[in-house]
Amino acid sequence: MNRRSFIAGSVAAATGLTSVFPASKASDSESQGKPFKLKYAPDINQFRHHAGDNPVNRIKFMHDQGFRAIFDNGLMGKSASDQERIANALQERNMDLGPFVVYADFGTESFVLSNADVRRDLRNRVRNAIETAKRTNAKWGLMVPGRYNQRMGWGYQTANVVENLRYIAEECEESGFGIVLEPLNKRGHPGLFLTTIGQTYQICRAVNHPSVKIVNDIYHQQITEGNLIPNIDMAWSEIASFHLGDNPGRNEPGTGEINFRNIFKHIYNKGYDGVLCMEHGTSMGGREGEAALIQAYREADSF
């Protein structure tokens, strides 16, 4: 899957952080390296300007800054030895690994079809994902159910999605591995079946299996439906993970219109102990941009 980087290069956006967030409760020197309240997870490719190209060194740097998780959308595409290196580096530091991408074909009708070939392909992908999870201690893989069919009734498509997910859930059952479904916004990804939290909640309730849950992407849902905190509450029983990114721009907290401090406080008070993947760009490049990213999370985490 090709994830957009959304690198804006706007110095003004980053220098405006102090106007978006009031001063932190703790000074920079006091908070530096202190674990964040929640498990914000940088992309494994983040912080190259500070820590270089070696992923183990980047993981060490992230841990030293207070992060207690990472995510890697491309984990399944790495060699088994590289997966194990990443897993060992995380285990040594008691860090979690967020959901990795198992299936996200934006150009194909798949889950909406009752088709033996589609089901066979999904089964094989999930089996490969389970092997990746065994090597890396990952708990969740991410799936996007593909495009909707313009000729088939919506109810029939929904029923097919539910049946395909039940099939996948059976594959996951013995391993304890699970799938999180990601609804995406229509503006950036027109034609996809899954778009809202409510729709995804309905499907998860219909599947009724602990191996099929939701990844709530705050960036996408701000565009699609807003009402972020009430939707989190209504879908809470089916949410297993979060993706982060401010809107507009899809950069770090404080560069757009979303009040991440209130959202993080709300999630924290609900007792959430899962991963929040920082699936966004930075408003500046280079070391300055990476430093601004860390500071943005310090500010948003100071509730």
Per-residue pLDDT of the chain (303 residues; tens, 9 = 90+): 444 443 333 333 333 433 344 444 444 556 778 999 999 999 999 999 999 999 999 999 999 999 999 999 999 999 999 999 999 999 999 999 999 999 999 999 999 999 999 999 999 999 999 999 999 999 999 999 999 999 999 999 999 999 999 999 999 999 999 999 999 999 999 999 999 999 999 999 999 999 999 999 999 999 999 999 999 999 999 999 999 999 999 999 999 999 999 999 999 999 999 999 999 999 999 999 999 999 999 999 999
Q: Which of 6, 25, 58, 9 is nearest to 299 (CA)?
A: 25
The number of residues making up the chain comes to: 303
How many CB atoms sit inside 10 A of residue 9's CB? 11
Edge-first strand order for the sheet with 275-277 is: 39-41, 275-277, 239-243, 212-217, 178-181, 140-144, 100-104
Q: Provide the token pair at 271.
A: 């007792």
Classify domain 11-300 at the CATH superfamily level: Divalent-metal-dependent TIM barrel enzymes (3.20.20.150)
Rounded CA-CA distance 193/119 in Å is 17
Q: List the domain boundaries for the chain.
A: 11-300
Residue with tokens 């907290």: 253
Q: Quote the pLDDT of residue 29.
A: 56
Rounded CA-CA distance 242/246 in Å is 13
Q: pTM to 2 decimals?
A: 0.90
Q: Quote the pLDDT of residue 17.
A: 39
**Three-class SS string for the chain?**
CCCCCCCCCCHHHHHCHHHHCCCCCCCHHHHCCCCCCCEEECECCCCHHHHCCCHHHHHHHHHHCCCCEEECCCHHHCCHHHHHHHHHHHHHCCCEECCEEEEECCCCECCCCCCHHHHHHHHHHHHHHHHHHHHHCCCEEEEECEECCCCCCHHHHHHHHHHHHHHHHHHHHCCCCEEEECCCCCCCCCCECCCCHHHHHHHHHHHCCCCEEEEEEHHHHHHHCCCHHHHHHHCHHHEEEEECCCCCCCCCCCCCCCCHHHHHHHHHHCCCCCEEECCCCCCCCHHHHHHHHHHHHHHHCCC
Which amino acid is present at 195? T
Q: Quote the pLDDT of residue 4.
A: 43
